Structure 1
Amino acid sequence: MSDITRGSVREPTRAEAILAAGLRDEKRRQTRRHIAEVATGLFLEHGFAQVTIAEVARTAEVSVNTVYTYFPSKEDLVFYPEEASAQRMVQMVRDRAPGQSAAAAVFAALRAELRQGDRMVGLTQGFGRFLHMVRAEPTLSARLDATAGEMVDALAETLAAETGAGPGDPLPRLIASQLGWVQDQLFREIGTRTQQGRSPGDIAESALALLAAMESLLSGTALSYATR
């Protein structure tokens, strides 16, 4: 006699529950990315200010409530967590190998993304137009600058904690600011080259050369700081 026939329902095993939760999380990630990609396409085609949340929902074939569930504000559709995290450089530094400094970890991570053609460094078709749109829209430009500032703040806090720097020590913030500058200049270079219609391979090559030039400008103190 089955469990249902006896009037009871079998409880899922722990493994089944974990699998189901993982599938739900993946479904949510896919939905969030789909909505964001649809919204970005609409913004690039019609302009950020001209597109409404209702239009995004209709084009993405979801409800307006679903859009707001994943993106509390219109700006969040452009800067969604998976690609605009203030923890981006922190994670690069935390993942560094023994004997590697904070700066070396960031440069290595950026070079790896460039060589892999990773979308995280903007090696996607239309990135130049996207960056131009962001800079042209005051609310988006302010959001981009705020995210960059939060990234520097988070990295400075991490470096201070790892090195045991005191409250009055300026080095953690100075190092974090320099690495933030490196990433900012890299994105600007990629955006400019993309708008010029250059190929991804050519863009990656020029970006790698820019990274090498910026690395040569940093002092020995910056390059060796927080070596693990």
Structure 2
Amino acid sequence: MTEELGLRERKKRETRRRISDVATGLFCAHGFDNVTVADVARAADVSVNTVFNYFRTKEDLFFDRQEEIVEQAAAALRDRRPGETVVALFRRLFLEGLDRGAHQTGFHEGSEVWARTVRDSPALTARQEEIGRQAERRLAGALADETGAGPDDIAPRVAAAMIMSVQWQLVNEVVERKLAGETLEGMRRDVYAAARRAFDLLENGLGDYARKTSEPDASDGK
């Protein structure tokens, strides 16, 4: 029975991913507002009802990993290395993301196509902005929990806003240059320099805020 449930869930995930991939391809090729859910269903060889069984809205087809993106920064904060400040954490993650061409850095082939698709659609632009606000609120909440900040303490909200803004500006820099026709290799040195400069500025603003204490020694208290 457990094996059957596992197989069923795996098939559901595969179907969901296939529908989303088909939809994203159509949206990027023809524009989000020019493609209907019926078009997606037909191309994915499923019914419209099946599409809505997996996705509540048309925008969800494009932003199919919304919850993961919203939670990503807060989860990274909770899992960071002992002694690592919040600025050092996001500096490290962004530079590592550049190294591997991670989607969230914009430093990968096709990022300009994705960006153009979002910009050309008011609905997608609004959804992207809402995802950013949700991610910022989650990060602020995680910072408040970790530092013991009260509801009237503005520091976690300011820190989260600064961190998310720096990352957004860096991604936007990459995408703008890609849209202008530059290659990844051609902008590589500038992008890394900009990232280091941006996080240097952030470091001066936040300093040692939210430095994680070392893990307690297992022998303590014995």
**TM-score w.r.t. structure 2 length?**
0.85
Q: Is the 8 A contact 1:114 1:123 kept in 2?
A: yes
Q: Which amino acid aligns with 2:21?
A: E
1:117–1:204 Cα contact (<8 Å) kept: no
- Alpha-carbon distance in structure 1 between the residues aligned to 2:16 and 2:209: 38
- Where does 1:135-214 land on structure 2 (aligned, <5 Å)? 135-214=119-198
Larger radius of gyration: 1
Post-superposition shift, 1:72?
0.8
3-state DSSP class of the match of 1:165? coil
CA drift of 1:162 comes to 0.3
Q: Among residues 34, 47, 59, which one is paired with 1:63 in the alignment? A: 47
Deviation string 1:128-167 (CA, Å, 9 cap, x unpaired) is 1221221232111111111111111111011001000112
Aligned partners of 2:100, 2:4: CA distance in 1, in Å? Answer: 32
C-alpha separation in 2, matches of 1:28 and 1:100: 39
8 Å Cα contact 2:104-2:171 kept in structure 1:
no
State the Cα deviation string for residues 5-30 of structure 1 (Å, max 9, x = none): xxxxxxx5xxxx2x554444443333
**Structure 1 residues 210 and 164: alpha-carbon distance in aligned structure 2, compared to 1, 3 A threshold:** same
Identity, % of aligned pairs? 38
Q: Find the partner of 2:117 among 133, 158, 161.
A: 133
Q: Distance in 1 between matches of 2:77 and 2:91?
A: 10
CA distance in 2, matches of 1:28, 1:136: 31
Q: Classify 1:161/1:31 alpha carbon distance in 2 versus 1 (closer, same or farther; 3 Å).
A: same
Cα 1:85–1:194 shift into 2, 3 Å: same
1:117 aligns to 2:101 (yes or no): yes
For 1:157-180, what per-residue CA distance to the aligned partner results, in whole angstroms no more than 9, with x for missing partners? 110010001122111001000011
TM-score, reference length from structure 1: 0.83
Q: Label 1:121 to 1:35 Cα distance change in 2 as closer, same or farther (>3 A).
A: farther
- Uncovered stretches (5+) of structure 2, i.e. residues with no partner: 213-222
Q: Does 1:30 align with 2:19?
A: no
- The residue number in structure 2 matching 1:9 is none
Report the Cα offset of residue 96 of structure 1.
0.4
Asked whether the equivalents of residues 190 and 207 of structure 1 are also in contact (C-alpha less than 8 Å), the reply is: yes
Query: Does the residue aligned with 2:28 lie in a helix, a strand or coil?
Result: helix
Q: Which amino acid aligns with 1:216?
A: D
**Cα distance, 1:221 vs structure 2:** 5.3
